[in-house]
Chains A and B, each alone.
Chain A
Amino acid sequence: MTNPEWITEPLAPPSYLNNGYGWRSWFLTTDHKRIALLYLISITGFFFLGGFFAMMIRLELLTPQPDLLQSDTYNRFFTMHGVIMVWFFLIPSIPTVLGNFLVPMMVGAKDLAFPRLNLLSWYLFMIGGILAFSSIVIGGVDTGWTFYTPYSTTYSNTHVLWMALGIFIAGFSSIITGLNFIITIHTMRAPGLTWFRLPLFLWSTYSTSLILVLATPVLAITLVLMGLERAFGIGIFDPALGGDPLLFQHLFWFYSHPAVYIMILPGLGVESELISTFSRRNVFGYRYVAMASVAIAVFSFLVWGHHLFVAGQSVYIALAFSFLSYLIAIPSAIKIFNWMATLYGGSISFETPMLYALFFIGLFTIGGLTGLFLAALGIDVHVTDTYFVVAHFHYIMVGGMVVAYLGGMHYWWPKISGRMYPERFGQVSAFLIFIGFNLTFFPQFILGYLGMPRRYHAYAEGFQTLNVMSTAGASILAVGYVLPLFYLAWSFFRGPLAPTNPWGATGLEWKTASPPPTENFEETPVVTEETYRFPVREEMLV
């Protein structure tokens, strides 16, 4: 096999990227960094697949009449969009790419605790993904990503079982990844790296992993029950046979509400790293930010009933769930305020990752505050199943998680690829995403409040202006997402070589070469001080 010239550059030091080139060295690798790249490529594929469905949905909603898609196709498309984006992009995004790459490096270890299981998790993920994808090819699923019974078990004529099997298998990939992170953070920290010296990214990854490990099994068993009910009509969720459809919703949201925190917690961790590095200050109230991550993980298990406010659950338990849903705003707000306090008096610079970080604060705040509307029993009755809900969770998941993911990718890209991305392109695409995102989703708050229901392919004519704005925004957003795909891919091969620590950041991952050698560190690092100790700051204090 002949190597391209960039690989055989005479002075390229040994790194994980040039340690073997054959397909075996990638597909049978146990190196967490290579597995992270496998995940990166896979989830990028799923992201654009899910994005395609989103674009088709937005195009259909350009006009009030059903013209581009008929109702059956439309139902399949929003289901595919939801399933792919939730299980095959958002949940694995930051944990499996940045987490896999960074957790061992941040704790100063050579690899995760169970490297072979880590590889297995990628294979399970791919098998699950291919099953889910093939259900699209053979005709799709029209239940929505939530698979509510009795529609999914009794009435839908689509390939529900196929899709559920795909998600079931991908769930085990999540469980393995979560376990691997927890065990690694517990047992493999470098000497001197105490819990309160851990980077905040690790705190949030740890909290995310807790959710992955404790919630995902419940999803798996719920899908099995749903599948059996559909296949054999055994009556667990069928009122005609004594079953209760609400049990499905309880079990499903026992997983899926914590799962929406899987879709934001890692973003909060990335955010802390970015804010600290680009304002060159220690994170204000480090311990509170760290503990807020754990608190969010724990509270996330106590609020799932707010998805059932209008489903017929007990009003008394709804009161409790409403109250607990408010509580979760406290740790979220602690984070926001502490980031603001970190920025205050810092020497801020506006590189691309920092742009994403600042956008994140605004978008996450809007998403979080509108979450409080939905936690209020009375208002929720008014806006349930409207575009208000759609806008709210897109502000969290896209405005929060995807923005944080892109910020993190740009921030750690020099470490991952050993190359710098073109800064100007990065800034342009960050602004495109910010503008496009707000144009897409802010009108949806208004649409929802005016009463436009979600999951319909046609709507009343009066809603058209806002829908056109939303579709226009979506096309800007699409450009913003495609740009990084090209310039990051280009820079992977052709970009200028990156120094060890291009941002002047703290943290163990910046103390080894870019790209890192296969075993990460020449020798096991010894940690002697808290993270986020910026030299400039220390001099100022002196």
Chain B
Amino acid sequence: MSSHVYPAPHFRSFEQQHEASELGMWGFLCTEILFFGGVLCGYTMYRLLYPQAWVHGSELNSLWLGAAMTVVLLASSLTMALAVRAAQLGQSKAIVGFLAVTIALGIGFLVLKGYEYYGHWVHHLVPGFNFSGYQAPDHPQVALFVVFYFFLTLLHAVHMIVGVGVLSVIAMMARRDRFSAIDHGPVEIAGLYWHFVDIVWLFLFPLLYLVGAHQ
């Protein structure tokens, strides 16, 4: 049973409201593509200009840590998809459970990320503060790679933190039986956002960790 606040008074029907909010989220994700895309464009341009520096730069990141983070995020996407499935079936308890696991995996990802940042800090690999940890060829260009590494992963981490916050709110709403089989738009919308942030990481992984792995 759910308290029927929907459809909001300016919509003619549930379908219209669902359609609007889902399309709204896709439109927002479209802006996110371009938001990340501007940085990725810079990344690609400099990679074309300094291929060797990019190889050296990505060797500063641990391949296995990156792969572990990828697996954690993929698992969180699975549980998110299952939470949406539970919402479609109107199973409030299952929504809360799957969301809790998703949030935990998201935080796990952030912890791994923090551990990785800590490593860079300890080894003086933070351009703008202290980049004395790297002393091999192409010094400024390698620093440029690390700048992109930090900027892209920080941008991604900010999105993760927002996602964890959003999912917490949704989980709270689900605990109060806010959703039903017909009326669970927010769960699906939050899910779209979470999967998108996952997709961004799927591209960041090869771009930041795999460039120099073959050497």
Complex: how many Å from CA A201 to CA B156?
38
Q: Does A216 sit at the interface, judged by CB under 8 A?
A: yes
Contact of A213 among B31, B53, B144 (CB under 8 A): B31
Q: Name the prevailing secondary structure of the B interface residues.
A: helix
Residues in A164-183 with C-beta less than 8 Å from chain B: 175, 179, 182-183
A113 touches B24 (CB 8 A): yes
B23 touches A242 (CB 8 A): no
Q: Does B116 sit at the interface, judged by CB under 8 A?
A: no
B147 touches A247 (CB 8 A): no
Complex: how many Å from CA A98 to CA B42?
37
Contact of B38 among A109, A218, A235, A241 (CB under 8 A): A218
Q: Does B16 sit at the interface, judged by CB under 8 A?
A: yes
Q: A182-B27, A187-B23 are in contact. Are A236 and B144 (CB under 8 A)?
A: yes
CB-defined contacts of B9 to chain A, threshold 8 Å = 110
Contact of A187 among B16, B49, B140, B141 (CB under 8 A): B16
Q: Does B35 sit at the interface, judged by CB under 8 A?
A: yes
Q: A234-B128, A242-B50 are in contact. Are A183 and B30 (CB under 8 A)?
A: no
B 1-32 binary contact with A (CB < 8 Å = 1; else 0): 00000000111100010011001100110111
B34 touches A218 (CB 8 A): yes
A217 touches B31 (CB 8 A): yes
**A side interface size, CB within 8 A:** 41
CB-defined contacts of A241 to chain B, threshold 8 Å = 140, 143-144
B 158-181 binary contact with A (CB < 8 Å = 1; else 0): 000000000000000000000000
A188 touches B16 (CB 8 A): yes
Expressed in whole angstroms, the minimum distance between the Cβ of A16 and any Cβ of chain B is 13
CB-defined contacts of B129 to chain A, threshold 8 Å = 232
B 129-168 binary contact with A (CB < 8 Å = 1; else 0): 1000000000011011001000100000000000000000
Q: Does B97 sit at the interface, judged by CB under 8 A?
A: no
Q: A109-B10, A235-B147 are in contact. Are A242 and B32 (CB under 8 A)?
A: no
Complex: how many Å from CA A225 to CA B49?
19
Q: Output the residue of B35, B42, B127 with the most chain A CB within 10 A.
A: B42
A214 touches B42 (CB 8 A): no
Q: Does A346 sit at the interface, judged by CB under 8 A?
A: no
Complex: how many Å from CA A98 to CA B53?
52
CB-defined contacts of A45 to chain B, threshold 8 Å = none
CB-defined contacts of A221 to chain B, threshold 8 Å = 35-36, 38-39
Task: Across the A-B interface, give the 5 residue pairs with the lowest CB-CB distance, nearest first.
Answer: A232-B128, A217-B35, A221-B38, A111-B10, A110-B10
7 further A-B contacts with Cβ under 8 Å, apart from A110-B9, A187-B23, are A183-B20, A220-B35, A225-B38, A228-B128, A228-B151, A234-B127, A242-B140
26 contacts between A and B (CB under 8 A): A113-B24, A179-B28, A183-B24, A186-B23, A187-B20, A188-B11, A213-B27, A213-B30, A214-B34, A215-B34, A216-B31, A218-B35, A221-B35, A225-B42, A228-B128, A233-B128, A234-B127, A235-B143, A235-B144, A240-B140, A241-B140, A242-B46, A242-B49, A243-B46, A243-B144, A254-B38
Chain A interface (Cβ < 8 Å from any Cβ of B): 109-115, 175, 179, 182-184, 186-188, 213-218, 220-222, 225, 228, 232-236, 240-244, 247, 250-251, 254, 524
